[in-house]
Amino acid sequence: MSVSDPVADMLAKIRNASMARYEKVDIPTSKLKLEIVKILKNEGFVKNFKKVTVENVTFIRIFLKYDDKLSPIIHGIKKISTPGRRVYAGYKKMPRIFNGYGTLIVSTSVGVTTGRKAAEKKVGGELICSVW
């Protein structure tokens, strides 16, 4: 079955796996998904990730991160732009997630980056998702 919004599907798999306290989750790979996962790792929301090939199908294996009490580091992850409603913001109007404690992932003309870095570079773009 094909998925109409692969990024939203990836975010839902990560959210569900972390709430079920799974150690890892596999998602089909794409360039955009790989960049989003790199940002999640750099911001400290996931432990690690790697590309895995099983029977000529490539997956991104994401190792989820938990604190000492085994509660997930990712408290929430929400898709902002959808295929039917794209949301854009300039660098001056870049939203803050939980007063700076969360991370906004933005697709800009210079690549996929966080909202904070996009504002520093003075570029706007499409708001992909927010993580807190």
Please write the tens of the pLDDT for every residue from 93-108: 999 898 889 999 999 9
Whether 57 maps to a domain, the answer reads: yes
Whether 1 maps to a domain, the answer reads: no
Whether 117 maps to a domain, the answer reads: yes
pLDDT of residue 99: 87
Model confidence at 1, pLDDT cuts 50, 70, 90, reads low
CA proximity to 117, closest of 78, 91, 86, 98: 91
Whether 84 maps to a domain, the answer reads: yes
Across residues 74-89, what is the average pLDDT? 95
CATH number of the domain bearing residue 33 = 3.30.1370.30
Kindly report the average pLDDT of the chain as a whole number: 94
Domain count, the chain: 1
Model confidence at 56, pLDDT cuts 50, 70, 90, reads very high
pLDDT of residue 3: 78
Whether 15 maps to a domain, the answer reads: yes
What are the Cα distances from residue 125, in Å, to 12, 56, 115?
A: 23, 34, 9
Across residues 62-91, what is the average pLDDT? 95
**pTM for the complete prediction?**
0.91
Across residues 2-25, what is the average pLDDT? 94
- Over the stretch 17-54, which tens digit does the pLDDT of each residue have? 999 999 999 999 999 999 999 999 999 999 999 999 99
Whether 87 maps to a domain, the answer reads: yes
